[in-house]
Amino acid sequence: MQKKMQKKMKPKSQFRTLIGLTFKQGYARLGGAIVLGILFIAIFGPLFAPYTFDEFVDAPNAPRSDTLMLGADYFGRDVYSRFLSGGRSIIGLSFISTVLGVGLGLLIGLFAASAKKRTDGLIMRVNDILLAFPQIVFVLLVVSGFGTSVFLIAITVGFTHAPRTARIIRAAAAEVMERDFIKAAIAVGEKRQRIIISELLPNVTSPLLVEFGLRMTYSIGLVAAVSFLGLGLQPPAADWGLMINENRGSLTVQPWGVLAPIAAIALFTIGVNFITDSFAKVAIGIDRKGKE
Amino acid sequence: MSVVKLSNVDIAITRGGIKIVEKISFEIASGQILGLVGESGSGKTTVSMSLLGHTRKGAVIESGSITIDGHEIVDASDNELRSLRGGTIAYVPQDPGTALNPGLRISKQILESLEKHQPDVDHEVHMARVREILTEVALPSDEDFLKRYPHQLSGGQQQRVAIAIAFACRPKVIVCDEPTTGLDVTTQSKVLATIRALCREHGVAALYVSHDLAVVSELADNVAVMYAGRIVESGNRDEIFFNSIHPYTRRLIRALPDIAGKNQILGISGYAPMPWDRPTGCAFAPRCADAQSICSQSVPEITRISGTHNVNCHRHKDSTKIVATARVERDVVSSSTQALLGIDGLNGFYGSRQVLFDTNIHIQPGECVALVGESGSGKTTLSRCIGGLHDDYEGQISYFGNALGKHALERKKEERRDIQYIFQSPYASINPRRPIGATISRQLELFYGMKGSAAEARIKELLDLVSLPHAIVTSFPDQLSGGERQRVAIARALAAEPKLLVCDEITSALDVSVQASVIETLKNLQESTSVALLFVTHNLALTRSIANRVAVMRKGTIVEYGGLDEVFNSPKAEYTNRLLQHTPTLK
Amino acid sequence: MLFVFGRILAGIPIIIALTVLVFMATQALPGDAAVSYLANTATPERLAAIREQLNLDDPLWVQYFSWASDALRLDFGMTLTGETSVSAILGERIQNTLILMASSGIIAIPLSIVIGTYAAVRRGKIFDNVSSLVTLVLAALPEFVVAIFVVFLLATNVFQIFPAISFVEPGTLAWADPMSLVLPSLTLILAVTPYVSRIMRGSMIEVMESEYIQMARLKGLSERTVIMRHALPNAIAPTIQVIALQLAWLAGGVVVVEAVFAYPGIGTVMIDSVKARDLPIVQAITLMIAALYVILNILADIGTILSTPRLRTKYARKNDTSDVFAAMDGDQ
Q: Do domains B2-220 and B341-431+500-582 have the same CATH topology?
A: yes
DSSP letter for B174, please.
E
Q: For position C316, what pLDDT does the model report?
A: 61
Q: Taking CB atoms and an 8 Å cutoff, what residues of chain B touch C225?
A: 112, 116
Q: How confident is the model at residue A285 (pLDDT cuts 50, 70, 90)?
A: low
Pairwise CB contact (< 8 Å): C221 & B152: no
In chain A, the residue whose alpha carbon lies closest to the alpha carbon of B429 is A181
Residue C183 domain-assigned (yes or no)? no
The answer to whether the CB atoms of B389 and A186 lie below 8 A apart is: yes
For an interface test with C, give the residue of A137, A153, A244 to mutate (most C CBs within 10 A): A137
Nearest CA in chain C to A262: C145
Pairing mode of beta strands B33-37, B222-227: parallel
Nearest to B151 among C216, C229, C310 (CB): C310
Give the count of beta carbons closer than 10 Å to the beta carbon of residue C323: 13
Question: Could you give the CA distance from residue B316 to residue B295 in angstroms, rounded to a whole number?
Answer: 12
Q: Which residue of C has its CA nearest to B149?
A: C309
Pairing of strands B71-72, B59-68: antiparallel
Residue B500's H or E segment, with its range, is strand B500-504
**pLDDT on residue C164:** 79
Contacts of A49-52 spanning 24+ positions with Cβ under 8 A: A49/A78, A49/A80, A49/A81, A49/A84, A49/A85, A50/A78, A50/A80, A50/A81, A51/A77, A51/A78, A51/A81, A52/A81
Is C219's CB within 8 Å of B116's CB? Answer: yes
pLDDT reported for residue B330: 65
Cβ-nearest to B102 among C218, C225, C309: C309
Instruction: Kindly list the residues of chain C whose beta carbon comes within 8 Å of any beta carbon in chain B.
Output: 210-212, 214-222, 225, 229-230, 233-234, 237, 308-310, 313
- Pairing type for strands B173-177 and B205-210 reads parallel
Domains of chain B, residue spans: 2-220, 245-327, 341-431+500-582
C140 with A228: Cβ contact below 8 A: no
Min Cα distance C219 → chain A (Å) is: 27
pLDDT confidence of residue C327:
30
| pLDDT (0 to 100) of residue A2 | 39
In a domain, C324, yes or no: no
β-strands B353-363, B19-29: how paired? Answer: unpaired
Q: State whether residue B275 is helix, strand or coil.
A: helix
3-state secondary structure B305-371: CCCCCEECCCCCCCCCCCCCCECCCCCCCCCCCCCCEEEEEEEEEECCEEEEEEEEEEECCCCEEEE
State how far residue B382 is from chain A, nearest Cα, in angstroms.
Answer: 15
Mapped onto helix, strand or coil, the DSSP state of residue A12 is coil
Spatial CA neighbour of B439 closest among B412, B483, B474, B479: B474
Is residue A160 within 8 Å of residue A135, measured between CB atoms? yes
Sheet hosting strand B230-236, strand order edge to edge: B89-92, B173-177, B205-210, B33-37, B222-227, B230-236, B310-311, B303-304
Q: Report yes or no: A254 at the C interface, CB cutoff 8 Å.
A: no
Q: Is B349 on the interface with C (CB under 8 A)?
A: no
Q: Which of C148, C257, C298 to mutate to test the interface with A (most CBs of A within 10 A)?
A: C148
Residue C237 lies in a domain: yes
Task: Give whole-number Cα distances, B525 to B228, B334, B448, B521, in Å.
Answer: 31, 21, 21, 6
Shortest Cα distance, chain A CAs vs residue B425, angstroms: 8
CB contact under 8 A, A132 and C253: no
pLDDT band of residue C145 (cuts 50, 70, 90) is very high
Q: Are B408 and A181 within 8 A, CB to CB? A: no
The answer to whether A187 contacts B408, with C-beta atoms less than 8 Å apart, is: yes
Contact partners for chain A, using 3 or more CB pairs closer than 8 A, are: B, C
Lowest-confidence region among A4-13, A37-46, B327-336, B567-576: A4-13
Shortest distance, CA B119 to any CA of chain A (angstroms): 40
Q: Are A131 and C140 an interchain contact pair (Cβ–Cβ within 8 Å)?
A: no
Are the beta carbons of B116 and C220 separated by less than 8 Å?
yes
Mutate: best of C141, C205, C296, partner A, most A CBs <10 A: C141
> Among candidates A173, A170, A160, A33, which has minimal Cα distance to A98?
A160
List the one residue out of A220, A117, A118, A131 whose CA is nearest residue A167: A131
Closest chain B residue to A188, measured at CA: B416
Beta strands in B17-116 (DSSP E): 19-29, 33-37, 59-68, 71-72, 89-92
Please, what are the domains in chain A?
Answer: 25-284 (1.10.3720.10)
Residue B25 to chain C, least CA–CA distance (Å): 22
User: Of A147, A262, A270, which has the smallest distance from its Cβ to C137's Cβ?
Assistant: A270
* Topology (CATH) of B2-220: Rossmann fold (3.40.50)
pLDDT number for residue B324: 54
Per-residue model confidence (pLDDT) at position A289: 46
Mean pLDDT throughout C294-316?
83
| pLDDT of C250 over the 80 cut | no
Q: Does A266 touch chain C if contact means CB atoms closer than 8 Å?
A: yes
Is the preceding peptide bond at A255 cis, omega within 30 degrees of 0? no
Nearest to A93 by CA among A205, A214, A207, A218: A218
3-class SS at B532?
Answer: strand
- Predicted local confidence at residue C30, as pLDDT: 57
- The verdict on a CB contact (< 8 Å) between B424 and A183 is no
Half-sphere exposure of A2 (CA within 13 A, CB side): 8
Average pLDDT of the residues of chain C: 82
Is some CB atom of chain B closer than 8 A to the CB atom of A245? no
Longest CA–CA span in chain B (Å) reads 79
Q: Across the beta sheet with B71-72, what order do the strands follow?
A: B19-29, B2-13, B59-68, B71-72
Of B100, B112, B149, the CB nearest to C212: B100
User: Residues of B with CB below 8 A from C310's CB?
Assistant: 102, 149, 151
Q: Any idea what DSSP says for residue B279?
A: P
Nearest residue in C to A225, CA atom: C144
Among candidates A292, A103, A178, C24, which has minimal Cα distance to B481?
Answer: A292
Report the 10 Å Cβ neighbour count for A251.
Answer: 20
- Does B432 sit within 8 Å of A203, measured CB to CB? yes
> What is the nearest CA distance from B73 to chain C, expressed in angstroms?
13
For the stretch C77-90, pLDDT in tens is: 777 776 777 887 78
Q: For residues A260-288, b (16+ Cβ closer than 10 Å) or e, as one string?
A: bbbbbbbbbbbbbbbbbbbbbbbbeebbe
Q: What is the dihedral of CA B509, B511, B512, B518, to 10 degrees?
A: -70
Residue A1 — very low, low, confident or very high, per pLDDT cuts 50/70/90? very low
**φ and ψ at B252, to 5 degrees?**
-65, -40
Helix C279-307 vs helix C2-23: crossing angle, to nearest 10: 160
* pLDDT score at B511: 86
Neighbours of chain B (3+ CB pairs under 8 A): A, C
SS3 B60: strand
pLDDT score at C36: 67
Question: How crowded is residue B391: how many other Cβ atoms within 10 Å of its Cβ?
Answer: 14
Closest residue in C to A165 (Cα) is C332
pLDDT at A5 over 50: no
* Optimal mutation site among B381, B414, B420, B433, interface A, most CBs of chain A within 10 A: B433
Residue C319 scores a pLDDT above 80: no
Instruction: State whether residue B67 is helix, strand or coil.
Output: strand
**Using CA atoms, how far apart are residues C23 and C27, in angstroms rounded to an integer?**
6
A22 by DSSP, 3-state: which?
Answer: helix
Distance CA B339, CA B524 (A): 22
Tell me how many domains chain C contains. 1
Chain C CB contacts of A129 below 8 Å: 14, 17-18, 21, 328
Residues of B in contact with A290 (CB under 8 A): 427, 432, 477-478
CB contact under 8 A, A141 and C289: no
Q: Tell if the CB–CB gap between B99 and C308 is shorter than 8 Å.
A: no
- Rg of chain A over CA atoms, in angstroms? 23
| Distances in whole angstroms, Cα of residue C72 to Cα of each of B587, C46, C68, C79, C135 | 78, 28, 6, 17, 40
493-532 in chain B: CB under 8 A from chain C = none
Given an 8 Å threshold on Cβ–Cβ distance, is C211 in contact with B82? Answer: no
* A193-218 confidence digits (pLDDT tens): 999 999 999 999 989 999 999 999 99
What pLDDT is recorded for position B321?
A: 61
Q: What is the pLDDT of residue C132?
A: 92
pLDDT per residue rounded down to tens, chain B (587 residues): 789 999 999 999 888 888 999 999 999 999 999 999 998 888 999 999 999 999 988 899 999 999 999 999 998 999 999 999 999 999 999 888 899 999 999 999 999 999 999 999 999 999 999 999 999 998 999 999 999 999 999 888 999 999 999 999 999 999 999 888 878 888 888 889 999 999 999 999 999 999 888 899 989 999 999 999 999 999 999 999 988 889 999 889 888 887 777 677 888 888 788 888 888 889 998 888 888 888 888 889 888 888 889 999 888 877 656 555 555 566 666 666 688 999 999 999 988 889 999 999 999 998 999 999 988 889 999 999 999 999 999 999 999 989 999 999 899 999 999 999 999 988 899 998 889 999 999 999 999 999 889 999 999 999 988 888 898 898 888 888 888 999 999 999 999 999 999 999 998 888 888 898 889 889 888 888 889 999 999 988 899 888 999 999 999 999 999 998 889 888 999 999 999 988 888 76
Q: What is the pLDDT of residues B439-484, one digit of tens each?
A: 999 999 999 999 889 999 999 999 988 888 898 898 888 888 888 9
Q: How far is C215 from chain B (nearest CA, A)?
A: 6
The pLDDT value given to residue A267: 95
Task: Supply the pLDDT for residue C28.
Answer: 61
Strands B205-210 and B230-236: unpaired
Cβ–Cβ of A290/B432 closer than 8 Å? yes
> A281 — contact with chain C (CB < 8 Å)?
no
- The pTM score is 0.86
Range of the domain at C111: 101-153+190-252+280-316
Domain B341-431+500-582 indexed as CATH 3.40.50.300: yes
The pLDDT tens digits of the residues spanning A123-145 come to: 988 888 888 889 999 999 888 87
**CA C187 to mean position of chain CA atoms:** 14
- DSSP code, position B410: G
What's residue B127's pLDDT? 95
- CB contacts < 8 A, B to C, total 73
